[in-house]
Amino acid sequence: MKKLFGLLSMVLLITVLAACGNGGSESSSGEGESASGDSGETKTIKAGIGLNSDHPQYKGLLKFKEIVEEKTDGAIKVDTYHSGQLGDDRSMTEALQLGTQEVVVPSTAPLANFVPEFSVFDIPFLFPNEQVADEVLDGEVGQELLGKLEEQNLVGLAYWENGFRDLTNSERAVASIDDFEGLKIRTMENDLHLDAFKALGANPTPMAFTELFTAMQQGTVDGQENPYATIYLQKFYEVQEHVSNTHHIYSPFVFLMSKSFYDGLTEDQQKIVKDAAVEAGKHERKLNREANEKYLKQLQEEGMEYTEISDEARQEMVDAVAPVIEDYKSKIGEETVDKVYKAIEEAQK
Ligand code: KDG
């Protein structure tokens, strides 16, 4: 009897341990030996983003899941989390460093707190359009920057797109630099963003995306800046009245993986996750561009007042932030800044 009890306890213990190894995950793909797996044990990727499940970023994440689970025959499964369920960009990135989360797709702006060179993409009015951004990011200098993440225990697998950021607020129509005066604007947690908004005359506050809606609703801030897709899909029109096409910064996303997790994959699996991140990124960029194009109209249909920024007014903004950019060149790293400017020039030829 004692022996039988001992045996039963052992079986129970093994079952519990196997379940823990699965990370208590939500997805239900099969376990077992696979062509791409090394030991037959299923590996689980917890992938989180701050935006909600309607956003193209989440659709991109689902595409990544589909490719990886199919190509590894279920040896790697991907559990996806949206709306900051796992935290904000910064805390999720820290979780990757600690090895308690495997994937996050943050904007490059908060990532500059980990690798300062990423702030090169926070230079206002840097990219003229998405096509040039693609060439620079997917080209030599963009890939070189991804390489710098390794020192931070992170692996940058691909760039995705957040997009050109536009200003919204609940106070007044913003048509020129004068209209920024005193506006309480939430920015991402990034010093260059903060200083650029100060130079425009606004009163900026850095804040995690997960706190933004409530801050606007309660009037802690008057406004924020994000691409139209985010403004619409996160229903910011419920708490914001004005939108202007400031297009002041192009935000890339970086598809990040925890280095300790990546290093534990077989070579085959590393290739699969890398290719999947790139492939899913192409899908995400396409959906994101379609979304940004269609949602300005829908924002107006929801009652937001749209103000067009004239070329002249935009030039005034460019001039106002120029000293800030000068000041940041050495903080970002002159070499990186020069390389990016050169790559932009090349991409326009
Ligand atoms: O999933 C991405 C978001 O967490 C965030 O990067 C969105 O642009 C963003 C912002 O304003 O914080």
Q: Is the CB of 162 under 6 A from ligand 1?
A: yes
pLDDT band at 41 (very low <50, low <70, confident <90, very high): confident
Q: CATH 3.40.190.170: does it fit domain 43-348?
A: yes
> Nearest residue CA, atom 3 of ligand 1?
50
The answer, yes or no, to whether residue 322 has pLDDT greater than 80, is: yes
Q: Where are the chain's structural domains? A: 43-348
Q: Of 349, 114, 77, 131, which Cα lies nearest the Cα of 254?
A: 114
Query: Dihedral (C-alpha) 195, 199, 205, 210: value to the nearest 10 degrees?
Result: -80
258 pocket-lining for ligand 1 (C-beta < 6 Å): no
Residue in the structure block whose two tokens are 């005066």: 181
**Statement: residue 39 has pLDDT above 70:** no
Give 321: exposed, middle or buried? Use CB within 10 Å, 0-12, 13-18, 19+. buried
Residue 4: what pLDDT?
40
Task: Calculate what percentage of the chain has a pLDDT beyond 70.
Answer: 89
Residue 130: Cβ-neighbour burial (10 angstroms; 0-12, 13-18, 19+) = middle
Comparing C-alpha atoms, which of 160, 126, 121, 124 is closest to residue 345?
A: 126
Q: Helix and strand tally (H, E) in the chain?
A: 13, 11
Spatial CA neighbour of 107 closest among 33, 52, 162, 147: 162
Examine the pLDDT at 236 and tell me if it is beyond 70. yes
Which atom of ligand 1 lies nearest, measured to the CA of 208? Answer: 12
What token pair was written down for 342?
A: 């050169």
57 lines ligand 1 (CB under 6 A): yes
CB of 76 sitting under 6 A from ligand 1:
no
- pLDDT above 50: residue 158: yes
